[in-house]
Chain A
Amino acid sequence: MSALLEVRDLRVAFTRRGEPDTVAVDGVSFEVDPGQVVGLVGESGCGKSVTSLAIMRLLPARGVRLTGSVTFDGTDLLTLPEARMRELRGREMSMVFQDPLSSLNPVVPVGLQVTEVLRRHRGMGKEPARREAADLLDRVGIPDPRRRLDSYPHQLSGGMRQRALIAIALACRPRLLIADEPTTALDVTIQAQILDLLGQLVRETGTALVMITHDLGVVAGMCETVNVLYAGRIVERARRHRLFGTPRHPYTHGLLRSIPRLDAPAGEDLAAIGGSVNDNLPWTHACAFAPRCPRSLERCVEVTPDPETAGGRLLRCHNPVPASVE
């Protein structure tokens, strides 16, 4: 079974006249199989959102340099003409974004924002599209869906808006859904509901899901395979239980240790990863994480660590945490 989505050595640089390029994504490679749920985890600024926008070709045309390859079902997306890309978007691959209020057109009723996808890709007539839209809103758990079709986004609550966006994204039963921090802007109680909904729907429709988040809890609940991103490159990839059970990259290890635990002795300091994202080194001749790494060696600031695959786990580190340590 070949992968549905194959990202190979994706590099995204933002160019500005008179200033050096800003590299946001620095050689990211991963795969998504049909129906699989894959996680992309990292701090803000590590390049995860840019990766998703690059895959969907939603980055601006000017001021951006994209290299590498993104293959969807055998088709190279990066060289595809825009017209063909528009046929894929919304139908075969779609996205759910972070802020549900600003992601919806404020002056157009919600129902229309759903039916326009249906009419565009499935050629539905006006009335059938409305019926289908009401059905979709119902399936994402929006009460009184017929009436809601004519509501404007600002008349809905945050949770309902995100449900509507999910309905829009899944309207044409795409084979791939990318969710970029879908619950970050929502209340904690709603977050769990939305995540459950998402998980349930992709299982029903057999859609592959790429879950992008900074929240390890979200990832642990949903994703089979987890990619850990740091400074634009994947530093560790493993199946869920392996990653959380025995994190080997010092960054992953640090992230997991920094999560406060109920059973930790009271009065104990919270563990944090020292330094900040600004203290990175460029990947071109070092390990970016080295300045903040408690396990860094002389080698780490001089030689770029290559990705090594062993036992189903990808690791980019000169001095990983030993496998037997908790």
Chain B
Amino acid sequence: MLRFVVRRLLQVVPTLLLLSILVFAWLRNLPGGPAVALLGDRATPERVAQLNALYGLDDPLPVQYGKFLGRAASGDFGTSSITGEPVLAEIARALPATLELSIAALAIAVALGIPLGYLAAVNRGRSLDVSTVIGTLVGVAVPVFFLGYVLKAVFAVELGWFPPSGRQTVGLDATNVTGFAVLDGVLTREWDASLDALSHLVLPAVALATIPLAVIVRITRASVLDVLDSDFVRTANSKGLTPATVRGRHVLRNALLPVSTVIGLQVGLLLAGAVLTERVFVWGGLGTLLADAITLRDYPRLQAILLLGALIYIVVNLLVDISYAVIDPRVRL
């Protein structure tokens, strides 16, 4: 088992290396050259020359790459050309917000998606199944940001059930412990702060959850349909086991295997979707940072977030692979 984990970890290394090379190449090809790109509006000939010397941009390529790696390893991603702050600090501050949103969205997608997919499969061909399948097809076709606006317009502006933007009501002075607003409220026993944060979380989380939900429903349904037809489920039934046992131990334990892989893939979609959703709901997380970086051409920030995004994706998929080995004995042995 341990050998498997180590093996998988080693497999990730070349991917990460290649990723860093690609990012490095990307950085050097930004319009205006890397120095101008890094300085943005504040580029003057002296500053450019300074930066060139500092970053060794006159050095041969391999050396530059080495320095780039060194800087990345020590956490130096430069300073934002918008705020002048170190990029890493900005990201560290904004990360919890995005994580909270993503986790909430993923939780919704999984908690609703798996049961719905299972029910659709078991009721194959009947109205529940047909409407579910149509729902998933439409769900994937709706642009996330548009859905966000619609939800906002209907539930926040029209009906006033939920706040239209932000993470917390302005003026509510909540104590910040972990950066996860809902959790913080619980930890400090400021219940209304927690509830307030929760109500702010609902709409963006629902908007973000739509596509992962659609995908999870489809995969679960397909997987369950596949397993229901299998010989070992027939054997289980021939043993006269209770429907619950057949469902739990035989159908689901096998059907959920591919679903877990897909959930890992969804994290990538969530990151992308978070960028758009945060724009709509002015969430103040990584997505907002990224959106601003794009509009204002803040390349240090852009590079850091891109790298981070890819890194998170790779790590999550690594965890999924490992957990797959834990659940499915055929992979390990």
Contacts and interface: CB of A to CB of B under 8 A. Distances in A.
A touches B (Cβ under 8 A): yes
Given A97-B234, A107-B329, A86 B241 contact: yes
A102 B328 CA distance: 16
B238 to A, nearest CB: 5
A104 B253 CA distance: 13
Contacts of B236: 105
B239 interface: yes
A106 B239 contact: no
B325 to A, nearest CB: 12
Interface string B233-260: 0111111111101000110011001000
Contacts of B254: 105-107
Contact of A94 (B239, B242, B243): B239
A105 B249 contact: yes
A70 to B, nearest CB: 15
Contacts of A154: 329-330, 333
Contacts of B237: 58, 89
A103 interface: yes
Interface string A64-99: 000000000000000000000111111100110101
A107 B327 contact: yes
Contacts of A88: 240
B13 to A, nearest CB: 30
A41 interface: no
B231 interface: yes
Nearest to B235: A103
A117 B239 contact: yes
A56 interface: yes
Nearest to A165: B235
A274 B125 CA distance: 42
A155 B333 contact: yes
B11 interface: no
Contacts of A62: 125
21 contacts: A58-B237, A86-B241, A86-B242, A86-B243, A87-B240, A88-B240, A89-B239, A89-B240, A90-B238, A91-B240, A94-B238, A95-B238, A102-B230, A103-B232, A107-B253, A107-B257, A116-B239, A117-B240, A120-B242, A120-B245, A152-B330
A60 B40 CA distance: 68
Interface in B110-126: 125
Contacts of A106: 232, 254, 329-330
B239 A120 contact: yes
Interface in B209-245: 230-232, 234-243, 245
A136 interface: no
A301 to B, nearest CB: 38
Interface string B297-333: 0000000000000000000000000000001111001
A317 interface: no
A88 B231 CA distance: 20
Contact of B249 (A90, A104, A116, A117): A116
Contact of A168 (B239, B242, B253): B239
A56 B238 contact: yes
Interface string A100-132: 001111111000100011001100000000000
A105 B250 contact: yes
Contacts of B245: 116, 120
A77 B94 CA distance: 65
A94 B245 CA distance: 18
